Chain A
């Protein structure tokens, strides 16, 4: 059965092209992926990300319970701060990548990928020591407001002072009369917020943002632009660039792994061992220097021998180059290393580059 977000009708009214995305009927584009991508880089875009899941831990010991499940450390955070983290398996691979919000040591909310919502909930429930998680995914809608004009737009619609809400901080307040969690996070490389509100309030909030954003040139943006925006930043997509068989260290996400965290976390032992032994392969960002566009699943070749696979790729609308990511042996992972991407039987040369691909001026 196809699931619909509360904004489904709003998307259809805007003329969106709808596609099935892991069981959800979602907008892939409204007019043009490139135009929507550019709106986010230069003005502001709205994304319906209500398909994302939310899992909540409340009660004494919530912080300690969650901290044992995630690779990053909420213990080092203040209330009102969020962290990007992995839920890792015993081998150090990803069950999922998540954002964990610390409201207080007794209330933690975790935003999970829609594709992993049920799996994550079952995984957490089986491993949580202390506080029992609650699946709040049906209660929350989520709208991402992203772009250089996003902060101004949201500020015009709320009395909450957003100037004090730094990156990966959040506050609660009313936006356009709708009670929301206002989180300075995103998946585009631009400034902005992700707004969590009650499912029933989503249409009101969406319409208010669209209307108030008209002077800014706001555009509703689909999953197509979301993907090209995140790819230009080398942000990982679960199922493409990270999964249960590649470790957090191989994915280049060592910075969200706190091996020295009090109490440890699931997957730590495997990562400690891998760190000592050396990481055999790494997720790199590359540009094609020949003609073509790298795509998920294309083989990576060195001297004609398959050494890896492209995990994500696109023609970057802002960087205006064919860019991609993929796992390669560590000796090919340094900047300037060269290999080929096999595109329809042709070996197209590529070079490892510094990431993010998008350079902010």
Chain B
């Protein structure tokens, strides 16, 4: 599982991923992150319209044993949140890059995404 690092995504050293989809950026946590967390049982999501600040906490993810902060890969406005996570947080474990996405952000500065880690630079951080 830890080896699953899609080439087309960008990454942070806190194990979030970012995917550019037109004008917005979808954010989630990596396969390595969910593996390390264990069974995810609760996700505290930001509200729509909240301004995220790069590197700052924007939510919380809890597994059976641990509480972890979610950090914003980029600055921007939350335009969508994955409400499915409220009733079914375990989709972060089963599909971290797909159904387990967390928020969709309209970036303040589109170029910020380019400065995130690529798959090759992120991979060593999962060892």
Report which A residues bind B (CB closer than 8 A).
17, 28-29, 32-34, 224, 227-228, 291-293, 295, 314-315, 317, 322, 344
Contact = CB atoms under 8 A, between A and B. Distances in A.
A292 B38 CA distance: 17
A292 B39 contact: no
A315 B43 CA distance: 12
Contact of A34 (B42, B60, B64): B64
B54 interface: no
Interface string B69-102: 0000000000000000010001000000000000
A32 B38 CA distance: 6
What is the interface residue range for chain B against chain A? Answer: 10 to 19
B93 to A, nearest CB: 8
Contact of B60 (A29, A315, A317, A344): A344
Contact of A33 (B38, B60, B62): B38
Given A34-B39, A34-B90, A227-B65, 20 more contacts: A17-B38, A29-B38, A32-B38, A32-B39, A33-B64, A34-B41, A34-B64, A224-B38, A224-B64, A224-B65, A291-B42, A291-B86, A292-B44, A293-B41, A293-B42, A315-B42, A315-B62, A315-B64, A317-B64, A344-B44
Contacts of B39: 32-34
Nearest to A295: B67
Contacts of A314: 64
A18 B42 CA distance: 23
Nearest to B63: A33
B76 to A, nearest CB: 23
A70 to B, nearest CB: 32
Nearest to B67: A295
A317 B60 CA distance: 19
Nearest to B42: A293
Contacts of A34: 39, 41, 64, 90
Contacts, number: 38
A224 B39 CA distance: 10
9 tightest A-B CB contacts, nearest first: A315-B41, A33-B64, A34-B39, A293-B42, A33-B39, A224-B65, A293-B62, A32-B39, A224-B64
Contacts of A291: 42, 44, 86
B44 A28 contact: no
Contacts of B63: 33
A251 to B, nearest CB: 23
A227 B64 CA distance: 10
Contacts of B41: 34, 293, 315
A228 B42 contact: no
A34 to B, nearest CB: 4
B60 to A, nearest CB: 7
B100 to A, nearest CB: 15
Nearest to B60: A344
18 contacts: A17-B38, A28-B65, A29-B38, A32-B38, A33-B65, A34-B41, A34-B64, A34-B90, A224-B65, A228-B64, A291-B42, A293-B42, A293-B62, A293-B67, A295-B67, A315-B42, A322-B42, A344-B60
Contacts of A17: 38
Contacts of A322: 42
Contacts of A315: 41-42, 62, 64
Contacts of A228: 64
Contacts of B86: 291
Nearest to B86: A291
A314 B67 CA distance: 11
Nearest to B39: A34
Contacts of A28: 65
Q: Which of B60, B63, B64, B86 has the most CB of A within 10 A?
A: B64
Nearest to A314: B64
Contacts of B44: 291-292, 344
Contacts of B42: 291-293, 315, 322
Nearest to B65: A224
Contacts of B67: 293, 295
Nearest to A37: B64
B21 to A, nearest CB: 28
